[in-house]
Structure 1
Amino acid sequence: MIKKKSEAEVDAFRHDLGPFVVAAEKTRMPMIFTDNKATYSVVFANDAFLALTGYKREEILAKSFQSLLTIGCDQTTVEIVEAALRGEGCAEPELHYKRKDGTEFWASLYVSPVCDDNGTIVQQFLSLIDVTRLRQDNARCRLLIDELNHRVKNTLATVQSIVTQALRSSGEPEAIRDAIESRILALSRSHDLLTISKWEGVGLHDLVDTALHPFEVIAGHTQRFTISGDNFHLSPKVTLSLTIALHELATNAVKYGAFSVDAGLITVSWELVPDVAGDRLVLRWQEHGGPPVTPPTHKGFGSWVIERGLAHELDGIVTLNFLESGVACTIDIPAPVSSET
Structure 2
Amino acid sequence: MSSFANKSEHQKVAEAEIESFRNELGPFVVAAETTRMAMLFADAERSNCPIIFANDSLLSLTGYDRDEVLGRSLAFMLVHDADRETLAQLAGKFGGTSDKGVEFLCRRKDDSEFWAAVFISPVRDEAGTVIQYFASFVDLTKHKEDEARSKMLIDELNHRVKNVLATVQAIVWQALRTSSDPKTIQQAIESRLVALSRSHDLLTRENWESAGLHDIIANALEPFERADGLSGRIFIAGDNVRFPPKAALALGIVFNELATNAVKYGALSTDNGALHIDWKTVSSPEGQRVLLQWREAGGPVVAAPSRRGFGSRVIDRVLAHELAGEVRMDFLADGLICSCSLLVPKDAG
- Normalization by structure 2: what TM-score? 0.89
> Which amino acid in structure 1 is aligned with residue 187 of structure 2?
D
Q: Which amino acid aligns with 2:20?
A: A
Q: Structure 1 70/227 Cα, relative in aligned 2: closer, same or farther at 3 Å?
A: closer
Question: Is the CA contact (8 Å cut-off) linking 1:73 and 1:97 kept in structure 2?
Answer: no
Q: Deviations over 1:194-229 (max 9, x none)?
A: 111111122211111111112223442311111110
* Residue 32 of structure 1: aligned partner: 40
Q: Secondary structure at the match of 1:142?
A: helix
Structure 1 residue 255: Cα displacement: 0.8
Map residues 51-90 of structure 1 onto 2, 5 A cutoff.
51-66=60-75, 68-69=76-77, 74-76=82-84, 77-87=86-96
In the TM superposition, residue 2 of structure 1 has moved relative to its aligned partner by 4.1
Amino acid at match of 1:29: M
Q: Please tell me the residue identity of whatever aligns with 1:194.
A: L
Code of the aligned partner of 2:33: E
1:180 aligns with 2:170: no
Supply the distance in 2 between the matched residues of 1:148 and 1:70 (Cα, whole angstroms): 35
The partner residue of 1:14 within 22, 33, 42 is 22
Q: Hey, what does 1:221 align to over in structure 2?
A: 230
> Larger deviation: 154-163 or 213-222?
213-222
Instruction: Tell me the CA shift for residue 14 of structure 1.
Output: 1.6
> What amino acid is the match of 2:61?
L
Find the residue that maps to 2:187 and give its secondary structure: helix
Q: Mapping of 1:1-341 within 5 angstroms?
A: 2=3, 10-15=18-23, 19-36=27-44, 37-66=46-75, 68-69=76-77, 74-76=82-84, 77-87=86-96, 91-335=100-344
For the residue of structure 2 that corresponds to 1:154, the secondary structure is helix
Per-residue displacement from partner, 1:64-99 (whole Å, max 9, x unpaired)?
Answer: 334x24675623333321222112899522111111
Question: Structure 1 85/296 Cα, relative in aligned 2: closer, same or farther at 3 Å?
Answer: same
| Distance in structure 1 (CA, Å) of the matches to 2:292 and 2:347 | 16
- Residue 105 of structure 1 contacts residue 130 of structure 1 at CA under 8 Å; is this kept in 2? yes
Higher alpha-carbon deviation: 4-13 or 267-276: 4-13
Contact 2:51–2:70 under 8 Å retained in 1: yes
Answer whether contact 2:199 2:252 (CA < 8 A) is retained: yes
**Fraction of identical pairs, as percent:** 49
Structure 1 pair 339–97 and aligned structure 2 pair: CA distance change class (3 A)? closer
Equivalent residues of 1:280, 1:333 under 8 A apart: yes
Q: Deviations over 1:172-215 (max 9, x none)?
A: 21221111111111111111111111111222111111111122
8 Å contact from structure 2 (residues 39, 57) kept in 1: yes
Q: State whether residues 307 and 320 of structure 1, in contact with CA within 8 Å, keep that contact through their aligned partners in structure 2.
A: no
Quick one: which amino acid aligns to residue 141 of structure 2?
A: T
Paired residue type of 2:186? R
Question: Amino acid of the residue matched to residue 12 of structure 1?
Answer: S
Bigger mean CA deviation after superposition, 329-338 or 229-238:
329-338
The CA deviation string for residues 133-175 of structure 1, in whole angstroms up to 9 with x for no partner, is 1101111111111111111111111111111111112342122
Are the counterparts in 2 of residues 232 and 336 from structure 1 also a CA contact under 8 Å?
A: no
Cα gap change, 1:339 to 1:64, in 2 (>3 Å) = closer
Offset of 1:254 from its aligned partner? 0.8
Q: Assess, with a 3 A threshold, how the Cα gap between structure 1 residues 50 and 72 changes in structure 2: closer, same or farther.
A: farther
Partners of 1:35 and 1:16 lie apart in 2 by 19
Q: Tell me by how many angstroms 1:3 deviates.
A: 7.4
Q: CA offsets per residue over residues 23-51 of structure 1, 9 Å max, x none?
A: 22121110000011211011110110010
Which has the larger displacement, 179-188 or 87-96? 87-96
> Which ranges of structure 1 fall in alignment gaps of 5 or more residues?
none
Q: TM-score, normalised by structure 1?
A: 0.91
Q: Give me the whole-angstrom Cα distance separating, in 2, the residues matched to 1:235 and 1:3.
A: 61
Residues 83-116 of structure 1: CA deviation (Å, up to 9, x unaligned): 2211289952211111111111110111111112
Q: Compared with structure 1, are the counterparts of its residues 73 and 46 closer, same or farther at alpha carbon in structure 2 (3 Å cutoff)?
A: farther
Inter-partner Cα distance in structure 1 for 2:329 and 2:236: 19
Letter in 2 for 1:303: S
**Secondary structure, counterpart of 2:287 in structure 1:** coil
SS of aligned partner of 2:199: helix
Equivalent pair of 1:322/1:328 in contact (CA under 8 Å): yes
Task: Report the aligned-residue RMSD.
Answer: 2.5
